[in-house]
Amino acid sequence: MLSRRFYSFVGRPGGYTRRRGLDRQTNKELLLRHVARSGQDGAPMDEWLQVLPAKTRDQIKQRLFELRREGRVNRIGVTRAARWVAVRPDDLGRHPGNTQ
């Protein structure tokens, strides 16, 4: 990967950011926006791969598990059938673990 200074020198500073990718927090915010739009049906992994196409399945799962630990999303189901949903205000008193 070339440096930010090089991209600025050649007049393409946005190229550095695009190649470098978004930071962890920005990725999590994109995931949160998508899960909020998914409603009660939630979103499966195939959709997450579309939201963050530059990330691997494992990287996306890490971000989703971080959001679950923060109490912002819940996972419904297990394995490839799992879906992720936003935590509703009435869910805040419950443990953010799996619900089945």
Other CB atoms within 10 Å distance of the CB of residue 17: 12
- The two tokens of residue 1 are 């990967």
Residue 42 inside a domain? The answer is: yes
Is residue 31 situated within a structural domain?
A: yes
Residue-number span of the structural domain to which 59 is assigned: 22-91
pLDDT tens-digit map of 26-82: 889 999 999 999 998 899 999 999 998 888 999 999 999 999 999 999 999 988 889
What pLDDT, in 10s, does the model give residues 66-97? 999 999 999 999 888 899 999 976 654 454 44
Q: Is the residue at 98 inside a domain?
A: no
pTM for the full predicted model: 0.69
